[in-house]
Structure 1
Amino acid sequence: MLPLGWLVNTQASQKQPKILFLGIDNSGKTTLLHMLKDERLVQHQPTQHPTSEELYIEKKKFNAFDLGGNHIVRRVWKDYFPKVDAVVYFVDAYDKERFEESKKELDALLSDESLATVPFLILGNKIDIPHAASEDELRYHMGLTNFTTGKGRVNLANSNVRPLEVFMCSIVRKMGYVEGFKWLSQYIK
């Protein structure tokens, strides 16, 4: 496994592709962004204002935007859709009572015309907690069974299929998300 810092770079540079970290509140967006930046796990207050960090993914530089996930800040998500290159959508795999709310937001994103060709990485977070949803269970509840494109290198260049895949992870245990970002990097120009 690669060291955690392989994703982060703090130097300024030219315009870079844009990745949005989206998902309802308490799903892990801010925790992952700050872990990638500082390589340490810290408890965070709910995100009230969008934040961004520069990341390296597979030797490419990106700007990652954590837009927050409570009801109020979800209204600004659309403001960031223009020129977005990828979406990382976080789902708390342990909080099954909020799957319906999370699915509703994901469905809205997937049906938004301005995101029609944008690759989506779905991270099912918190798999370290006992009784968290399995990947199959999460796919079912998010309505993604038979709708994902595959975890390997799948050539979608000549098709109208949006890259979409689910990866289960534990941010606190530092597992699963690196593979997800590697998968995502193949679809970002």
Structure 2
Amino acid sequence: MFLVDWFRGILASLAVWRKEAKILFLGLDNGGKTTLLRMLTDESLGQYQRTQHPTSEELSIGNIKFKAFDLGGHAIARRVWKDYYAQVHAVVYLVDSCDRERFAEAKKELDALLSDDSLTNVPFLILGNKIDILNAASENELRYFLGLADSTTGKGQVNLEGTNVRPLEVFMCSIVRKMGYGEGFQWLCQYIK
């Protein structure tokens, strides 16, 4: 019996390993989308030019193989975001936590994403980036300005099956210091179906 259970466990882990998902990196320009994608792909850190055209990379995070799309965040790039919503499994929305002047703009774009019918059941990981900079917003401040104070679902293992609630959570991070986003992706991976 032990051998049968062990074999079933191996088969289950192999099935999970083969899971594939499409993920979108969205947010305003200068939020850190390209930096995060580069860090997750090859752990390289650098100064990147504004994303002019959508780019994609293959990543493995946990037991999931992702096709990740960095679509850019300037006003013209945001026009094509909708073209990528089909069959998406998750959205990572990055916000520059130091750029308070653009919080209202970031909220407007996030609200549009959250109200889009084609993304209704898609989990959203909100990353407040650049917490290594002295004047960065706190998590509570970012939640407030993005209108998420009472609408996130919790950071642990939260079972939302049968609830019709979209997984949505805020994690603060510093991509350049390699901190915070790992916990966010761990949280996100539990909701990839």
Same fold (TM > 0.5): yes
**Distance in 1 between the 2:61 and 2:45 partners?**
20
TM-score scaled to structure 1, two decimals? 0.91
Pairing 1:118–2:100 present: no
**Distance in 1 between the 2:105 and 2:41 partners?**
29
Post-superposition Cα deviations, 1:17-73, rounded to whole Å, max 9, x if no partner, equal 100000000000000101112212110000011111111121111111000000001
Post-superposition Cα deviations, 1:129-170, rounded to whole Å, max 9, x if no partner, equal 001000000000000001000000000011110000000000
Pairing partner for 1:71 from 71, 75, 96: 75
Task: Summarize the alignment of residues 27-106 of structure 1 with structure 2, pairs less than 5 Å apart.
Answer: 27-106=31-110
- Give the deviation of 1:16 after TM superposition: 3.0
Aligned AA for 2:64?
K
Aligned AA for 2:83?
D
Task: Determine the structure 2 residue equivalent to 1:10.
Answer: none
**Distance in 1 between the 2:163 and 2:19 partners?**
28
Task: Determine the structure 1 residue equivalent to 2:25.
Answer: 21
Task: Determine the structure 2 residue equivalent to 1:154.
Answer: 158
**Distance in 1 between the 2:46 and 2:82 partners?**
28
TM-score scaled to structure 2, two decimals? 0.89
**Distance in 2 between the 1:185 and 1:35 partners?**
18
Q: Which runs of 4+ in 1 moved over 3 A?
A: none
Task: Determine the structure 1 residue equivalent to 2:5.
Answer: none
Aligned AA for 2:119?
L
Aligned AA for 1:68?
G
| Counterpart contact for 2:19–2:64, Cα < 8 Å | no
Pairing partner for 2:145 from 141, 146, 149: 141
| Counterpart contact for 2:171–2:181, Cα < 8 Å | yes
- Give the deviation of 1:106 after TM superposition: 0.2
Aligned AA for 1:81?
Y
Query: When the two structures are aligned, how many residues end up with a matched partner?
Result: 176
Post-superposition Cα deviations, 1:83-117, rounded to whole Å, max 9, x if no partner, equal 00000000000000000000000000000000000
SS in 2 for 1:16: strand
Pairing partner for 1:176 from 168, 180, 189: 180
Among all aligned residue pairs of Structure 1 and Structure 2, give the percentage whose two residues are the same amino acid. Answer: 73
**Distance in 2 between the 1:82 and 1:23 partners?**
18
CA RMSD of aligned residues (A): 1.1
SS in 2 for 1:30: helix
Task: Summarize the alignment of residues 7-18 of structure 1 with structure 2, pairs less than 5 Å apart.
Answer: 16-18=20-22
Q: Where do 5+ consecutive residues of structure 2 fail to align? A: 1-17
Task: Determine the structure 2 residue equivalent to 1:107.
Answer: 111
Aligned AA for 1:175?
M
Task: Determine the structure 2 residue equivalent to 1:8.
Answer: none
- Give the deviation of 1:15 after TM superposition: 9.0
**Distance in 2 between the 1:165 and 1:82 partners?**
22
